[in-house]
């Protein structure tokens, strides 16, 4: 849609959202509706109805435009509504429409949310949403033990490698999460797999795309695609499901050129092939938070479970809402950068659901779920009862 | 759109009653509240001034009193799923959402549970399930529809009335806010329903005319066992006759009994990866206190059906097969709407005697409506409740005005058939789009009766005005 | 109504600061640049007045690294015209000289309002606005945080920030110059596609120095940097400067600073 002018985009969006039959079933699965005041427009078809009338009645000025912006940017883009609509109603690609509308708002200089502006600037200038210097992206490797670096080739120029580990911005810059890439490296080390890490890795572009900056996304896509191809990679393994989704669904034809795997898929394959053997089983009760961008968006539900069942056996308990019914942590869609309305914090609801099934550990496979749920444990005062761990940490610890 | 100053005035007054975060003057909340289920646009004169979400009945009372004083209409719209458009406002007014009245309380010592009007049907069902109870309600919209709206409607949904009746039959008391702001509590805490005047009855199926339900007391019912059966007929008339037999031969009624004409069933089966059916299909659920009781009921019904020579008639023991069969019905609508057109259906109800003739009429539902005769249409319905849902796909390219005409034509034809068979709808309520039907069916005297009640209870006509007058 | 907005880029000081060999400037060679934050608020103010009451918005910049980029940004944001005063990049221009160049261009153009950002992110001097107003002999108000009203009689009511959370409200007769504080509004985001597309759609008006009627014989810096030093981070010591009048306090302050070797 990038090459279209705004009028054509609006016409396309209008055509799509006018298919809505206003059954409102989508509200039953929407984390926005669950966590907010529950005003009529605070649900999927509320957003699409808002888009419809904003275009039809030209409500794109002044306060109306700001209200539309606030509404559209409060969506987590988890996709639960699309699954529901497909199952029970017209099958409208609701999230796609919301994101297309965000693009229009951004082009009209009405969006994004104020706090997201510096995120976009940081992405453009430094290749990461945190505004950290791009030269320092691989500095985290300095804190990793020498022996774990043996398998790693840091791709600076002409080096070639078959398997690439795409670290992602959060794992690269957030030192609190250092154990995640460290654990993955331990497992790679255990598997004796050689792999590369791009010296010049830039953000996969997911935040830009979700916020509606399609032009910036394209720049980042081109940059990363070129670097991955130049390194001769046959396979890229990602840490974040958002990078995974970007490569698989949003990057033009990357999936035709190389294999794209989330690390849980990659390690589940190794487990099945007998290359990974679990030596130490876990006896704490654990449960698993399906990341929306791994599960709902890409259907990867079982690979992480294969690993966790091996590690914890009967101690792995599902939350009542699992797989496609999983509750979004609230971090996606650009929300992690902004203050959005949350009367009931999604992370706290989820922590409670984990406690309800007797879990002592919530296992995640996404850096944002990790951050959100860790916060949720703290803000709900449950630090003594439950902790959050990444799947890679548990796997590394079980070998 | 109404003047900003009027909106400001109302907003300022509401601020004294409800926390201001729960009053919205955002245009999008106001439009969405008015949209309802119709695929055609809201008109600017229908957009509410504000949307207000009271947290309890006391706040609601203050709002209603204010509305009465200022003669500003109130429109109750929480999930907005009323199929006749009862939540679409007639004029500007105050839109009320009952979303925050969402508490549920178990009074097991009394044999009841009480839920506030904004509780979502599915959530109530889940809460009851967890404790081993049964919610006697199965509307298609249960994921989002509220208890207040459903009781105001007293809808059967999928349920065959002759099996467990209507949800209202299990309501033993209500708390209602009247249009003048008075609160009344109706019914009984005992297990005998009142004989004589029971105020509860004025509001169960009240169509939103006489009061705003805030709390509902319902009987706790034991969890049920289910058994399943199905049959395939090579023609719809035999299918109809089979159902007639079932009722005439006093078979214990199934809880749900659905049918799909062959062309509709074929689509559903294909989506579910099953080979196409050889004819029109009928599938049903029987309930019992024990597994055996449920199975016996299925056997009895199959026996009646078999007398009309189906191609096949069988019990469904495999739950996966049952889920597949049931979902062929559920996926049909969504599949047809995949192309982007709007699925619309009518609710035609037959009497027992004329069921086969009604089946034919339902098959030909759209044929003599010039605007709709060329549309793709399919027939299915809750045949156990003698209900047909002839549906058609309305092209999305049609403009708003044409879509409105299409909906009105559909209801006009529906009226014709329900008059012919001396019946009335059992799912969506009366009035709104069916006011013309009500007058035809029950005469001017019947209509005046209701109007008289309305005038007495709501002299300023502030509660959902337009519903009784008929639709807009 | 004609509004002129003064715009420039600054280096992004996100990491350790290094000085050039002569210690007279920040070594910005490897630093990324963006539009000076304060200028964005000034631009946004102009564009909002344009949207609400109608105005012609002209952005102006004295050419140095990134000026062109900054001006294209303004055009993409819906400014009507962008003027680039060309100059030799290497030559040092102090803020008086910059103000003088801008003066030379705009003094022959119509203007009702001239907006500048309060200060630069890099030097924090807050000089250009004040000097420019003096040169143009128009009233100026600094640290403006709100526009209360714009009237047809040719005046503007502004609110400006004082210390300690105080502010004052003044009516200023136009033409006037305002220096704009951050937070007065929320600057719009201009997408990368808009910024790319604008280069084919609009042109920047380029004015070479030779076109300016300026006495270049008297065109020298009024101020020069002697040396830049990074402050030592030490434990703080607080001393109140005594004096019963402002003049007395100022004299005592100068005395203290001379003692410390700064004069």
Whichever domain contains C91, its CATH number is 3.40.50.620
- From the CA of A78, how many Å to the nearest CA of chain C? 25
Cβ separation of B32 and A46 shorter than 8 Å?
Answer: yes
Which of A6, A109, A130 is the best mutation test for C, with the most CBs of C within 10 A? A109
Residue of chain C whose Cα is closest to the Cα of A130? C14
Residue C101: count of CB within 10 angstroms of its CB: 23
Q: Least CB-CB distance to C15: which of A117, A133, A213?
A: A133
Chain C residues within an 8 Å CB radius of A213: 191-192
Angstrom CA distances, B218 to A232, B162, B184, B199, B344, stand at 68, 19, 17, 15, 33
Listed in sequence order, the residues at least 6 apart from B182 whose beta carbon sits closer than 8 Å to its beta carbon are none
Do C21 and C86 belong together in one domain? yes
d(C-alpha C104, C-alpha B390), whole Å: 79
Interface A:B, ≥3 CB–CB pairs < 8 Å: yes
Q: Residue B28 and residue A25: Cβ atoms within 8 Å?
A: no
Choose from A34, A39, A61, A93 for mutation: most chain B CBs within 10 A.
Answer: A39
Inside any domain, residue C223: no
pLDDT for position B2 = 60
- Asked whether residue C86 falls in the same domain as residue C159, the answer is yes
> How high is the mean pLDDT of chain B?
95
Say yes or no: C92 and C199 in one domain: yes
Nearest CA in chain B to A58: B27
CATH topology for A2-111 is: Fumarate Reductase Iron-sulfur Protein; Chain B, domain 2 (1.10.1060)
**Residues in C touching A125 (Cβ below 8 Å):** 12, 32, 34
Could you tell me if C46 and C117 lie in one domain? yes
Q: What band does A5 get if pLDDT is binned at 50, 70 and 90?
A: confident
Specify the pLDDT at position B50: 97
In this structure, the answer to whether residues C258 and C171 fall within a common structural domain is no
Q: What distance in Å separates residue C30's CA from the closest CA in chain A?
A: 11
Is pLDDT of B472 > 70?
A: no
Residue-wise burial string across A383-396, b where 16 or more C-beta atoms lie within 10 A, e elsewhere: eeebebbbbbbbbb
Q: What is the pLDDT of residue A295?
A: 97
Q: For residue C120, tell me if it sits in a domain.
A: yes
Give residue A311's pLDDT: 96
CB contact under 8 A, A125 and C194: no
Q: Report how far residue C6's alpha carbon sits from residue B469's, in angstroms, rounded to the nearest whole number.
A: 64
Q: Under an 8 A CB cutoff, do B36 and A22 touch?
A: yes
Q: Is the pLDDT of residue B1 over 60?
A: no
Contact present, B337 and A19 (Cβ < 8 Å): yes
Q: What is the C-alpha separation between C117 and A230, in angstroms, rounded?
A: 44
Q: Given pLDDT bands bounded at 50, 70 and 90, which one contains residue B251?
A: very high
Q: Which of C12, C189, C193 sits opposite A2 (nearest CB)?
A: C193
Block residue for tokens 């690609």: A93
- Is C192 in contact with A125 (Cβ distance < 8 A)? no
What was the pLDDT predicted at A1?
A: 38
Give a yes or no: residue C150 inside a domain: yes
Question: How many CA atoms within 13 Å lie on the side-chain side of B456?
Answer: 6
Structure tokens given for B465: 């005005």
Q: Is there an interface between C and B (3+ Cβ pairs < 8 A)?
A: no
Provide residues of B within 8 Å CB-CB of chain A.
21-22, 24, 26-33, 35-39, 41-42, 44, 51, 53, 77, 79-81, 95, 97, 99-100, 120, 122, 141, 143-144, 330-331, 333-334, 337-338, 340-343, 396
Q: Kindly report the number of other CB atoms within 10 A of residue C14's CB atom.
A: 14
Q: Do A38 and B97 lie within an 8 Å CB cutoff?
A: yes
Q: Could you say which residues of chain C have pLDDT below 50?
A: none
Which chain B residue lies closest to A85 (C-alpha atoms)? Answer: B334
In chain A, % of residues over pLDDT 70: 99
**Contacting residues of A for B340, CB less than 8 Å apart:** 15-16, 19, 90
Residues C253 and C190 in one domain: no
Pair B429, B203: CB distance under 8 Å: no
Which domains are assigned to chain B?
2-96 (3.30.43.10), 104-222 (3.30.465.10), 225-330 (3.30.70.2190), 339-427 (3.30.70.2740)
Q: Is C83 helix (H, G, I), strand (E, B) or coil?
A: strand
Task: Tell whether C28 and C102 lie within a shared domain.
Answer: yes
Give the length of chain B: 472
pLDDT: which is higher, C21 or A264: A264
- How far apart are alpha carbons A394 and C145 in whole angstroms? 53
Q: Length of chain A, please?
A: 399
> How is residue B176 written in tokens?
């209602």
CB spacing of C186 vs A114 below 8 angstroms = yes
- The answer to whether the Cβ–Cβ distance between B27 and A90 falls below 8 Å is no
pLDDT tens sequence across B298-352: 999 999 999 999 999 999 999 999 999 998 888 888 888 888 888 899 999 999 9
**Is C193 in contact with A112 (Cβ distance < 8 A)?**
no
Q: What is the pLDDT of residues A212-227, one digit of tens each?
A: 999 999 999 999 999 9
Q: What is the distance between the terminal CA atoms of chain C, rounded to a whole angstrom?
A: 46
Cα end-to-end span (Å), chain B: 17
d(CA B221, CA B167): 12
Range of the domain at C93: 2-218
Nearest CA in chain A to B99: A38
Tell me how crowded residue B146 is: count the other CB atoms within 10 A of its CB. 30
pLDDT over 60 at A3, yes or no? no
CB A361 within 8 A of CB A284: yes
CA distance to partner chain B, nearest, from residue A80 (Å): 14
Of the two residues A5 and B99, the one the predictor is more confident about is B99
Class at the top of the CATH hierarchy for domain A275-398: alpha beta
Spatial CA neighbour of C66 closest among C131, C122, C148: C122
Same domain, C188 and C261: no
* Co-location of C201 and C75 in the same domain: yes
pLDDT classification of A2: cutoffs 50, 70, 90? very low
> Alpha-carbon torsion B272, B276, B282, B283, what sign?
negative
User: Each residue of C112-141: b (16+ CB within 10 Å) or e?
Assistant: bbbbbbbbbbbeeebbbbbbbbebbebbbb
pLDDT score recorded for residue B433: 93
State how many domains chain C has. Answer: 2
Q: Which of residues 2-31 of A touch B (CB under 8 A)?
A: 15-16, 18-19, 21-25, 27-28
Q: Which chain C residues are within 8 Å of A112, Cβ to Cβ?
A: 189
What is the CATH T-level fold of the domain A116-271, as seen in this structure? Glutathione S-transferase Yfyf (Class Pi); Chain A, domain 2 (1.20.1050)
Considering only CB atoms, which chain A residues are within 8 Å of B32? 40-41, 45-46, 49-50
Domain boundaries, chain A: 2-111, 116-271, 275-398
Question: Tens digit of pLDDT for each residue in B427-437?
Answer: 999 999 999 99
Q: Residue C227 domain-assigned?
A: no
The secondary element (H helix, E strand) that includes residue A169 is: helix A169-173
Contact A38 B100 (CB under 8 A): yes
Do C257 and C208 lie in one domain? The reply is no
Smallest Cα distance from C214 to chain A, Å: 38
| Chain B nearest CA to A50, separation (Å) | 5
Read off the pLDDT of each residue in B154-169 and give the average, rounded to a whole number: 94
Cite the beta strand spans of A158-275 per DSSP E: 163-166, 195-198, 235-238, 259-262
Asked whether the beta carbons of C183 and C145 are under 8 A apart, the reply is yes
- Residues A103-120: tens digit of each pLDDT: 999 999 998 999 999 999
> Are C128 and C171 contained in the same domain?
yes
A89 to B337: CB separation less than 8 angstroms, yes or no:
yes
**Which among A114, A131, A213 has CB closest to C191?**
A213
Number of Cβ pairs < 8 A linking chain A and chain B = 116
Average pLDDT value for residue range A40-62: 95
**pLDDT per residue as tens digits for the range A325-340:** 999 999 999 999 998 9
Coil/strand/helix, residue A108: coil
Query: If interface means Cβ-Cβ distance under 8 Å, which residues of chain C face chain A?
Result: 12, 14-15, 32, 34, 77-78, 186-194, 196
Instruction: Chain C: give the shortest CA distance to residue A114, in Å.
Output: 7
Residue C87 domain-assigned? yes
Percentage of chain B lying above the pLDDT 70 cut: 99
Q: Round to whole Å and give the CA distance between B336 and A375.
A: 44
Test the C interface: residue of A215, A219, A222 with most C CBs within 10 Å: A215
* pTM of the predicted protein model: 0.93
Sort strands C2-6 and C56-62 into parallel, antiparallel or unpaired.
Answer: parallel
Q: Which residues 63-92 on chain A approach chain B with CB closer than 8 angstroms?
A: 64, 67-68, 71, 84-91
| Same structural domain, C191 and C246 | no
Contact B340 A23 (CB under 8 A): no
Partners of chain A (3+ Cβ pairs below 8 A): B, C
Q: CB–CB of A90 and B338 under 8 A?
A: yes
Residue C32 pLDDT: 87
């Amino acid at each position: 849609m990038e090459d279209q002018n705004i009028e054509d985009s609006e016409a396309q969006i209008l055509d799509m959202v006018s298919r809505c039959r206003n059954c409102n079933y989508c509200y039953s699965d929407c984390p926005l509706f669950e966590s907010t005041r529950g005003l009529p427009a605070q649900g999927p078809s509320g957003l699409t109805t808002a888009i419809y009338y904003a275009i039809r009645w030209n409500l794109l000025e002044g306060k109306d435009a700001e209200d539309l912006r606030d509404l559209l940017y409060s969506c987590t883009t988890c996709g639960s509504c699309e699954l529901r609509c497909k199952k029970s109603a017209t099958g409208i690609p609701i999230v796609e429409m919301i994101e297309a509308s965000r693009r229009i708002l951004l082009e009209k200089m009405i969006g994004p949310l104020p706090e997201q502006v510096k995120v976009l600037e940081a992405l453009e200038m430094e290749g990461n949403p945190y505004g950290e210097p791009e030269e320092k992206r691989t500095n985290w490797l300095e804190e990793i033990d020498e022996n774990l670096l043996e398998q790693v080739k840091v791709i600076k120029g002409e080096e070639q490698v078959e398997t690439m580990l795409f670290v992602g911005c959060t794992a690269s810059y957030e030192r609190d999460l250092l154990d995640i890439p460290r654990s993955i490296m331990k497992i790679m080390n255990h598997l004796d797999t050689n792999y590369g890490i791009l010296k010049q890795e830039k953000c996969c572009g997911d935040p830009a795309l979700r916020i509606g900056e399609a032009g910036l996304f394209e720049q980042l896509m081109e940059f990363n695609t070129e670097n991955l191809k130049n390194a001769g990679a046959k396979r890229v393994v990602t840490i974040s499901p958002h990078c995974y989704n970007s490569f698989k669904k949003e990057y033009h034809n990357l999936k035709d050129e190389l294999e794209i795997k989330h690390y849980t898929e990659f390690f589940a394959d190794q487990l099945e092939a007998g290359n990974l053997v679990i030596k130490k089983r876990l006896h704490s009760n654990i449960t698993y938070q399906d990341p929306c961008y791994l599960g709902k968006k890409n259907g990867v539900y079982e690979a992480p479970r294969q690993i966790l069942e091996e590690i914890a056996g009967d101690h792995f308990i599902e939350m009542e809402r699992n797989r496609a019914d999983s509750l979004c942590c609230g971090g996606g869609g650009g929300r992690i950068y902004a203050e959005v309305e949350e009367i009931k914090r999604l992370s706290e609801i989820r922590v409670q659901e984990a406690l309800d099934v007797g879990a002592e550990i919530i296992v995640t496979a996404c850096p944002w779920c990790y951050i959100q749920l860790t916060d949720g444990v703290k803000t709900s005062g449950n630090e003594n009862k439950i902790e959050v761990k990444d799947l890679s940490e548990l796997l590394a610890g079980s070998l | 759109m109404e003047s900003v100053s009027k909106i400001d005035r109302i907003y300022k007054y509401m601020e004294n009653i409800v926390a201001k975060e729960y009053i919205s003057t955002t245009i999008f909340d106001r439009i969405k509240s008015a949209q309802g289920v119709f695929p055609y646009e809201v008109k600017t004169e229908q957009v509410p001034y504000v949307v207000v979400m009271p947290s309890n009945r006391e706040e609601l009372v203050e709002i209603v009193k204010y509305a009465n004083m200022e003669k500003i209409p109130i429109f109750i719209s929480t999930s907005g799923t009323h199929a006749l458009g009862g939540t679409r406002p007639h004029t500007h007014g105050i839109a009320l959402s009952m979303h925050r009245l969402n508490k549920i309380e178990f009074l097991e010592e009394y044999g009841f549970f009480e839920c506030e009007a904004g509780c979502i049907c599915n959530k109530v069902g889940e809460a009851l399930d967890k404790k081993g109870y049964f919610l006697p309600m199965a509307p298609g919209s249960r994921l989002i529809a509220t208890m207040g709206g459903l009781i105001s409607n007293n809808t059967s949904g999928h349920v065959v009335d002759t099996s467990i009746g209507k949800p209202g039959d299990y309501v033993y008391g209500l708390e209602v806010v009247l249009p003048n702001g008075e609160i009344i509590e109706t019914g009984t805490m005992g297990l005998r329903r009142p004989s004589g005047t029971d105020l509860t009855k004025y509001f169960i199926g009240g169509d939103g005319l006489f009061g705003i339900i805030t709390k509902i007391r319902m009987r706790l019912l034991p969890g049920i066992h289910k058994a399943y059966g199905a049959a395939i007929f090579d023609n719809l008339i035999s299918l109809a006759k089979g159902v007639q037999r079932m009722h005439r031969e006093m078979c214990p009624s199934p809880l749900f009994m659905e049918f799909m004409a062959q062309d509709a069933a074929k689509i559903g089966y294909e989506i579910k990866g099953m080979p196409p059916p050889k004819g029109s299909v009928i599938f049903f659920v029987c309930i019992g206190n024990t597994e055996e009781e449920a199975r016996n009921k299925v056997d009895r019904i199959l026996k009646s059906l078999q007398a009309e020579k189906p191609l096949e008639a069988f019990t469904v023991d495999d739950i996966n097969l049952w889920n597949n069969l049931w979902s062929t019905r559920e996926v049909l609508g969504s599949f047809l709407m995949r192309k982007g057109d709007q699925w619309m259906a009518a609710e035609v109800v037959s009497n027992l005697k004329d069921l086969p003739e009604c089946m034919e009429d339902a098959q030909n539902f759209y044929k003599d409506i010039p605007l709709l005769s060329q549309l793709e249409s399919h027939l299915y319905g809750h045949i156990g409740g003698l209900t047909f849902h002839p549906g058609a796909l309305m092209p999305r390219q049609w403009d708003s005005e044409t879509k409105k005409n299409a909906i009105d034509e559909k209801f006009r034809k529906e009226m014709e058939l329900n008059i012919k068979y001396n019946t009335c709808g059992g799912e969506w309520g009366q009035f709104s789009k069916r006011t013309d039907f009500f007058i035809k069916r029950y005469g001017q005297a019947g209509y005046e009766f209701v109007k008289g009640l309305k005038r007495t209870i709501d002299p300023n006509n502030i509660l959902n005005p337009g519903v009784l007058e008929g639709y807009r | 109504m004609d509004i002129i907005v003064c715009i420039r880029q600054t280096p992004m000081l996100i990491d350790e600061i290094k000085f050039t060999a002569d210690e007279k400037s920040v070594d910005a060679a490897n630093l990324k640049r963006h539009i000076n934050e304060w200028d964005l608020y000034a631009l946004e103010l102009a564009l909002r007045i344009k949207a609400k009451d109608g105005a012609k918005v002209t952005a102006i910049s004295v050419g140095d690294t990134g000026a062109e980029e900054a001006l294209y940004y303004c055009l993409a944001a819906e400014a009507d015209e962008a003027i680039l005063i060309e100059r030799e990049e290497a030559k040092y221009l102090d803020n008086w000289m910059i103000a003088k160049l801008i003066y030379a261009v705009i003094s022959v153009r119509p203007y009702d309002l001239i907006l500048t950002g309060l200060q630069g992110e890099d030097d924090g001097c807050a000089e250009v606005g004040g000097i420019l107003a003096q040169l143009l002999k128009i009233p100026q108000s600094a640290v403006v945080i709100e526009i209360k009203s714009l009237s047809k009689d040719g005046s503007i009511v502004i609110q400006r920030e004082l210390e300690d959370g105080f502010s004052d409200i003044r009516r200023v007769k136009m033409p006037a110059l305002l220096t704009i504080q951050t937070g007065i509004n929320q600057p719009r985001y201009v997408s990368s596609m808009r910024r790319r597309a604008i280069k084919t759609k609009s042109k920047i008006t380029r004015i070479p120095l030779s076109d300016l009627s300026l006495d270049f014989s008297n065109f020298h810096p009024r101020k020069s940097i002697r040396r830049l030093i990074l402050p030592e981070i030490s434990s703080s010591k607080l001393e109140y400067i005594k004096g019963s009048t402002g003049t007395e306090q100022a004299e005592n302050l100068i005395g203290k600073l001379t003692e410390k070797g700064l004069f």
